[in-house]
């Protein structure tokens, strides 16, 4: 296993649209285990392959308290969505920025596992929000892009300032 570097907003590579996984082989299993290790280490509750510069439709999520519920989601499709939830989100690609985003409250997902087998997942609460957040990444979208353009400008200047401080400190 290996830790993977996480791209940070506004890196242009975060805008790439991921393509479907066609080969359910050992390299996919390695990617998934590296992504899980990277997510747990960060620590985060979700990671999309886009964030580690692999533009395939692969997501790992674990919203449990004790890191005991890893969900590997490949080629996800939302087949049903209902309700509305406004939850404060953060992102490993947008360090130290948190803001509220409007999402569906419940989603039903159809996806594949690392063997290619299809499964259906009914999600609500934090898991539903996380799934929608990670699926946005696969479309080249970061959560701050749901915010007003004024807020997005503020986020960009905060991150620039942060990057400067990291260099000088």
Secondary element (H or E) of residue 75: strand 71-82
Q: Are the beta carbons of 62 and 47 closer than 8 angstroms?
A: no
Whose Cβ is closer to Ni ion: residue 32's or residue 91's? 91
- The residue to which tokens 């533009």 are assigned: 55
Name the residue with the smallest CB distance to Ni ion: 91
Tokens for 48? 């999309």
Q: Is 63 helix (H, G, I), strand (E, B) or coil?
A: coil
Q: Are the beta carbons of 124 and 117 closer than 8 angstroms?
A: no
Q: Are the beta carbons of 120 and 80 closer than 8 angstroms?
A: no
Binding residues for Ni ion, per CB under 5 A? 91
Whose Cβ is closer to Ni ion: residue 54's or residue 116's? 54
Tell me the closest approach of the beta carbon of residue 80 to Ni ion, in angstroms.
23
Active site residue ranges: 134
Whose Cβ is closer to Ni ion: residue 91's or residue 107's? 91
Tell me the closest approach of the beta carbon of residue 99 to Ni ion, in angstroms.
12
Tell me the closest approach of the beta carbon of residue 149 to Ni ion, in angstroms.
20
């Amino acid at each position: 296993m290996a830790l993977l570097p996480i791209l940070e907003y506004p890196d242009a590579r975060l805008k790439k649209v991921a393509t479907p996984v066609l080969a359910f082989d050992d390299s996919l299993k390695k990617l998934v285990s590296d992504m899980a290790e990277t997510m747990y280490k960060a620590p985060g509750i979700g990671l999309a392959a886009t964030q580690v510069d692999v533009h395939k439709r692969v997501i790992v999520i674990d919203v449990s308290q004790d890191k005991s519920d890893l969900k590997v989601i490949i080629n996800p499709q939302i087949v049903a969505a209902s309700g509305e939830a406004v939850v404060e989100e953060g992102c490993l690609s947008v360090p130290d920025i948190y803001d509220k985003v409007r999402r569906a409250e419940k989603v039903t997902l159809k996806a594949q596992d690392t063997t290619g087998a299809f499964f259906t997942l009914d999600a609500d609460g934090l898991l539903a929000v996380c799934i929608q957040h990670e699926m946005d990444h696969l479309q080249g979208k970061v959560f701050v892009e749901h915010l007003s353009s004024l807020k997005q400008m503020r986020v960009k200047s905060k991150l620039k300032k942060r990057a400067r401080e990291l260099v000088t400190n």
